[in-house]
Structure 1
Amino acid sequence: MFLKLRNLLGGRRPVRDFAIPAGERVYAVGDIHGRLDLFEDLIATIEADNAARGSAVTTVILLGDLIDRGPDSAGVVARAREWSRQRQVHFIMGNHEEMLLQAREDIDTLRGFLKFGGYETLLSYGIDPDIAAGADIEELHRLLREAIPEEDCTFIYGFKKHVSIGDYLFVHAGIRPDMPLHHQQTKDCRWIREPFLSHDGDFGACVIHGHTITDEPEVRHNRIGIDTGAYVTNTLTAIGLEGTQRWFLSASSADEISAAA
């Protein structure tokens, strides 16, 4: 789902001075969807940007949908785990991770998983495409359970519903308006679009989210969407936050890596 970019200054209302606690720096990365090439470039860009900005307690948050659609979900999962051994990384579960875990147990869910990019995930784990193309749903279910290592599933099971740091809430899809943050339902955090996207009120925090594709980061007075559709637009986006400052980083498949304050 693509939405036209809305006013980068936040729409009708002035942007509130949301802040990250003093001494901390946060980077959040949008939906990767199996694009290991872009993920590797963006990791390098984040690390270089972090080093250039000086000392801070740095946290990285991956907003979910690491898998499906793109060509190397297995590689993204492995690289994400490796990065988390080098610095503090929080993982948020997206709707695609949820579908993968449910598809391991339920064939009906597997049908939807395969339709929305899960087939590419199976191939990335080494399933022969000719065998997969000729397999029925029961056989594909067996292949999925055999091909995806238990350690990867355990890793994904540990992904969080949301993360709060300072005045920011980091979540995959969004939240239910007018519901306290501590009462948010898991389904909404992973799947919601409306009424979240059009809500003009105060969420109680500035919500940083992915899930809904826009052609550029969508900055509103109460939320910032950073899913720029890596698997289809070839651009993966991150946001950097420190104090009341915000900046964007991106990586493209054309080796055009940019940073904008």
Structure 2
Amino acid sequence: MFSRFRQSRARRTGPREWRGLSGARAYAIGDVHGRLDLLERMVATIERDRRESSRARDYLILLGDLIDRGPDSRGVIEFLMRLPSDGLRPVFLMGNHEEMMLRVLGDEPESLSQWLTYGGYEFAQSYGVEVGRLAVLAPADAADMIRAAIPPSHFAFIEGFADSFTFGDYLFVHAGLRPGKRLDAQDTHDLRWIRDEFLNDESDHGCMVVHGHTISVEPEEKENRIGIDTGAYQTGILTAVRIEGARRRMIRIEECDP
């Protein structure tokens, strides 16, 4: 998936024009974290934009961390599983929170307390689990209790998430890349978890990286990356970026909007 890009460690001497896939349009949404209310409004806004714009091959890219922290992880998953197939092609990327949930409810129940602290309680509660009981159960039993409350189709949906998506000169990942490493040799752990080594690096990755994972007050548009995690679960602000040809713009949904 990465083979068409060539990474360079040199800093650019001037701005570079990044272009999306010819004849197509992409809408990428940052970390949702259980905020179904904001996601529904964002998708409705995107649908209005599609109706008002020239027709194109349209992609809807979710950058991962759909679950945990916010109040309605289950509702988010069910909403996305029911997205209509009217020409909008959905792409779902695996975030570190999806990875952690699958691991804990799979073969790593010993990590349950860590996951619960970082949003797992809210996830479990959204599936009707009596979370007060989890503290008195052994980790494996608590994991079994949560797993039993989740429809198998939800597990299968999340397990099918991709690690990256290319769109012209743009590369979409959850967290970022390991600088200096060939793009076709990136480790999935970095794609889902990396922070400072990627965020502080100014080198040319051979593509414009669009990512979530790290919260910023406003979208961060750098010369080599665009961060669009505006902390929906705590700020009430969900951000997306619209890319068509050489043009891009941000779409912002706030919980206080009418």
TM-score by length of 2: 0.91
Task: Give the distance between the partners of 1:71 and 1:13, measured in 2 at CA.
Answer: 45
Q: Give runs of aligned pairs for residues 36-75 of structure 1, distance below 5 A.
A: 36-75=36-75
Indicate the RMSD between aligned Cα atoms, in angstroms: 1.7
User: Is the partner of 1:48 in helix, strand or coil?
Assistant: helix
Residues 189-198 or 109-118, more deviating: 109-118
Contact 1:92 1:159 in 2 (8 A): yes
CA offsets per residue over residues 168-192 of structure 1, 9 Å max, x none? 0000000011112111110000000
Task: Give the distance between the partners of 1:148 and 1:199, measured in 2 at CA.
Answer: 40
User: Is the partner of 2:196 in helix, strand or coil?
Assistant: coil
Amino acid at match of 1:217: P
Shift of 1:204: 1.0
Identity of aligned residues (%): 46
Contact 1:13 1:221 in 2 (8 A): no
Contact 2:242 2:250 in 1 (8 A): yes
Which residue pairs with 2:25 in the alignment? 25
Task: Give the distance between the partners of 1:27 and 1:115, measured in 2 at CA.
Answer: 31
| Aligned mate of 1:219, from 213, 221, 226 | 221
Shift of 1:129: 4.1
Amino acid at match of 2:49: D
Task: Give the distance between the partners of 1:142 and 1:128, measured in 2 at CA.
Answer: 13
Shift of 1:135: 4.3
Which residue pairs with 1:148 in the alignment? 150
Shift of 1:131: 3.6
Amino acid at match of 1:71: P
Shift of 1:81: 1.3
Indicate yes or no: 2:246 matched with 1:244: yes
Indicate yes or no: 2:192 matched with 1:190: yes
Shift of 1:22: 2.2
Consecutive unaligned residues of structure 1, counting only runs of 5 or more, are 1-11, 257-261
Task: Give the distance between the partners of 1:85 and 1:150, measured in 2 at CA.
Answer: 22
Ranges of 4+ aligned residues in structure 1 off by more than 2 Å = 12-15, 84-87, 128-139
Which residue pairs with 2:4 in the alignment? none
Q: Give runs of aligned pairs for residues 1-261 of structure 1, distance below 5 A.
A: 14-83=14-83, 85-86=85-86, 87-105=88-106, 106-132=108-134, 135-255=137-257
User: Is the partner of 1:177 in helix, strand or coil?
Assistant: coil
Amino acid at match of 2:254: S
Task: Give the distance between the partners of 2:66 and 2:84, measured in 1 at CA.
Answer: 14
Contact 1:15 1:220 in 2 (8 A): no
Task: Give the distance between the partners of 1:140 and 1:46, measured in 2 at CA.
Answer: 39
CA offsets per residue over residues 22-81 of structure 1, 9 Å max, x none? 210000000000000000010111111122121111001000000000000000011111
Shift of 1:255: 2.5
Which residue pairs with 2:3 in the alignment? none
User: Is the partner of 2:115 in helix, strand or coil?
Assistant: helix
Shift of 1:108: 1.7
Contact 2:21 2:167 in 1 (8 A): yes
